Amino acid sequence: MVTTETRADVRLISKEALRTYMEFRGETIRSLASKVGASHGTIGHLRTGKQKYIRAEWARTIETILNAPPGSLFEIELSTVSRERPGTKRAA
């Protein structure tokens, strides 16, 4: 049996905006990561654009720490995912 789920992912809108807010607020990659509870690699990858998606709670925390308006750095993307339930066979 195949089930369909709607999933919400949180995506960085602009790496340039994140960099600008960080510089303006005097936050380094390591200082922001420490305050958010994320690895410095995660924050570094967001800042360079190598990573675009992040946990919702981290996104909210980053916007709060950087005093950025909610939704100015991250946006929610909804996607539909279809999965086959374990232990069931697809009909031929």
In a domain, 19, yes or no: yes
In order, the DSSP letters of 26-92 are T--HHHHHHHHTS-HHHHHHHHHTS--EE-HHHHHHHHHHTTPPTTSSEEEEEEEEEEEPTT-----
Model pLDDT, residue 92: 57
In a domain, 1, yes or no: no
Report if residue 50 sits inside a domain: yes
Task: Report how many domains make up the chain.
Answer: 1
3 state SS of 16: helix
At 72-86, the pLDDT tens digits run 999 998 888 888 877
pLDDT of residue 21: 98
The pTM of this model reads 0.80
Model pLDDT, residue 35? 97
The 10s digit of each residue's pLDDT in 23-61 is 999 999 999 999 999 999 999 999 999 999 999 999 999
Tracing tokens 């936050």 back to the chain, one arrives at 27
SS3 letters across 23-40: HHHCCCHHHHHHHHCCCH
* Structural domain includes residue 46: yes
